[in-house]
């Protein structure tokens, strides 16, 4: 079965739903008096909620998309080195975006920077759009002028940035941010996928290796051993990479391989894979608690198993049964995920700059706050749809 030339509607739907839920739960995070299952579980807990599944679901979808993305580029005639250049460029883009967004969240010292944090953020998002927008100019030089203007904007914003109460902190990777973490996992997974020539057995072996890497890094005594201490810093990346690899494996199970393999057998293989992930999570539970904050193997394996089930249901409903009209609502986010991801940040910066509040603070609690978060997520989807029609589409 080779569906490389066509988009898989269920993958798009999974991506769009995940982004919608992400926008919703990010707004709910600022709402008081909501049920605990609508919040991230604290680091000390041995549990997870559906909120803790959003990030791994995005990693999983990245994995499902990798075989299609790389195969498309090969079909277009990309050489080996051109393909590696694309992977590195995309990784660098995610890392840069992650670092800038983290520093914006840490807080811009307006006096030391020379502008309000909200204005700095808006200029950052404008630069992002200028660099990564998909232009349709016949004259390619116009596109490059816009992109170079965006690059110049990021460089200037990075140089003038000052943070901290005393305004002495320069821009630095306090942590990589969500997009940066996705970038590292994407890079490692692409390398592994190519090294093992898309072999499922090899990919599963590397999932086990990532889990083992995390386990050793978090249980062995690495102090005073510089040659091994780097393992601790890379443990989270290994854990996230394992989730991306699980998405790749499921993609290979459903959409690649022998054309004579029946769809029933593919669903059966996917079910077995999901069960193995759940069993693996159960076996790891005595040694590592379920924790998104610490990116434990238990959390990774359970999350990947749940994603296998969710995608299987979507694929059966949408692509096999043809019940797909409802997915149109999620399409703007599915085909333009980066833009949809940054829309809430753009709105927050704009409203802050204009001193506008779109929802009263005294209603940011309980049911009113939850309803507001849902309406806000729907509005973001509509806004993404409108920007799509205006030919604003970001592509790393």
Write the burial class of residue 259 (CB in 10 Å: 0-12 exposed, 13-18 middle, 19+ buried): exposed
For residue 324, give the nearest of 316, 312, 332 by alpha carbon: 316
247 and 305 in contact (C-beta within 8 Å)? no
Alpha-helical (H) ranges within the chain are 9-28, 54-75, 80-106, 110-113, 117-132, 140-160, 177-195, 200-219, 226-255, 263-284, 297-314, 331-335, 337-354, 366-389
Q: What is the pLDDT of residue 1?
A: 45
Average pLDDT over residues 251-267: 88
**Global confidence as pTM:** 0.93
> What per-residue confidence (pLDDT) applies to 6?
58
Angstrom CA distances, 370 to 287, 330, 341, 357, 382, stand at 36, 20, 20, 17, 19
pLDDT category at 106 given cuts 50, 70, 90 is confident
Q: Which of 56-60, 224-228, 317-321 comes out lowest in average pLDDT?
A: 224-228
Per-residue pLDDT at 83: 94
Please, which pLDDT band fits residue 364 given cuts at 50, 70 and 90?
A: confident
Q: What is the pLDDT of residue 137?
A: 87
- Does residue 305 have a pLDDT over 70? yes
pLDDT at 321 over 70: yes
- Mean pLDDT of all residues in 353-361: 87
Mean pLDDT of the 54-78 span = 94
Over residues 13-28, the mean pLDDT reads 96
So what's the pLDDT on residue 186?
Answer: 97
Closest of 252, 98, 121 to residue 180, by C-alpha: 98
Percent with pLDDT over 70 in the chain: 96
pLDDT tens, 189-236? Answer: 999 999 999 899 999 999 999 999 999 888 765 555 655 677 777 899
69 has pLDDT over 70: yes
DSSP secondary structure code for residue 315 in this structure:
I
| Pair 289, 296: CB distance under 8 Å | yes
For 198: left if phi > 0, alpha if psi spans -120 to 50, otherwise beta; the answer is left
Which letter does DSSP use for residue 42 in this model? Answer: P
Go through the chain and tell me how many residues it has: 396
Closest by Cα among 329, 284, 328, 318 to 304: 284
Assess whether pLDDT exceeds 70 at residue 110.
yes
Mean pLDDT for the stretch of residues 88-107? 93
Burial (Cβ within 10 Å: 0-12, 13-18, ≥19) of residue 196: middle
Choice between 222 and 147, residue whose per-residue pLDDT is larger:
147
Kindly give, in sequence order, each residue whose CB lies less than 8 Å from that of residue 2, ignoring residues fewer than 6 positions away: 255, 256, 259
CA–CA dist 135, 132 (Å, integer): 9
Separation CA 133–CA 372 (nearest Å):
30
Tell which wins on pLDDT, 344 or 220: 344
Q: Do 8 and 67 touch, CB atoms closer than 8 A?
A: no
Q: Tell me the per-residue pLDDT of 122-140, one tens digit each, with 9 for 90 and over.
A: 999 999 999 999 998 888 8
């Amino acid at each position: 079965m080779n569906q490389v030339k066509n988009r898989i509607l269920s993958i798009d739907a999974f991506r769009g739903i995940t982004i919608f839920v992400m926008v919703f739960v990010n707004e709910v995070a600022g709402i008081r008096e909501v049920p605990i299952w609508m919040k991230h579980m604290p680091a000390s807990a041995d549990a997870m909620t559906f909120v803790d599944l959003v990030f791994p679901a995005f990693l999983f979808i990245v994995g499902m998309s990798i075989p299609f993305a790389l195969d498309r580029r090969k079909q277009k005639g990309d050489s080996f080195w051109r393909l590696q250049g694309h992977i590195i460029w995309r990784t660098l883009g995610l890392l840069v975006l992650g670092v800038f967004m983290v520093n914006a969240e840490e807080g811009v010292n307006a006096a030391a920077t020379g502008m309000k944090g909200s204005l700095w953020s808006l200029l950052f998002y404008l630069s992002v759009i200028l660099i990564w927008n998909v232009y349709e100019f016949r004259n390619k030089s116009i596109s490059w002028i816009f992109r170079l203007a965006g690059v110049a904007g990021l460089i200037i914003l990075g140089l003038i940035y000052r943070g901290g109460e005393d305004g002495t902190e320069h821009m630095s990777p306090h942590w990589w941010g969500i997009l940066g973490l996705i970038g590292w996992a994407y890079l490692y997974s692409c390398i592994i996928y190519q090294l093992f020539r898309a072999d499922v057995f090899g990919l599963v072996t590397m999932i086990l290796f990532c889990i083992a890497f995390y386990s050793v890094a978090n249980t062995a005594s690495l102090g005073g051993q510089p040659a091994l201490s780097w393992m601790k810093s890379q443990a989270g990346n290994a854990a996230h990479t394992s989730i991306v690899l699980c998405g790749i494996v499921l993609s290979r199970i459903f959409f690649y391989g022998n054309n004579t393999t029946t769809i029933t057998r593919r669903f059966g293989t996917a079910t077995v894979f999901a069960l193995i992930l759940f069993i693996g999570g159960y076996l790891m539970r005595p040694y590592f608690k379920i924790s998104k904050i610490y990116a434990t193997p238990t959390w990774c394996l359970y999350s990947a198993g749940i994603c296998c089930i969710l995608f299987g249901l979507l694929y059966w409903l949408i692509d096999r049964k043809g019940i797909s009209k409802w997915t149109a609502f999620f399409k703007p986010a599915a085909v333009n995920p980066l833009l949809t991801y940054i829309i809430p940040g753009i709105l927050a910066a704009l409203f802050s700059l204009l001193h506008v509040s779109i929802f009263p603070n005294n209603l940011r609690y309980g049911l009113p706050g939850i309803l507001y978060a849902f309406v806000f997520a729907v509005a973001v989807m509509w806004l993404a749809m409108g920007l799509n029609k205006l030919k604003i589409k970001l592509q790393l």
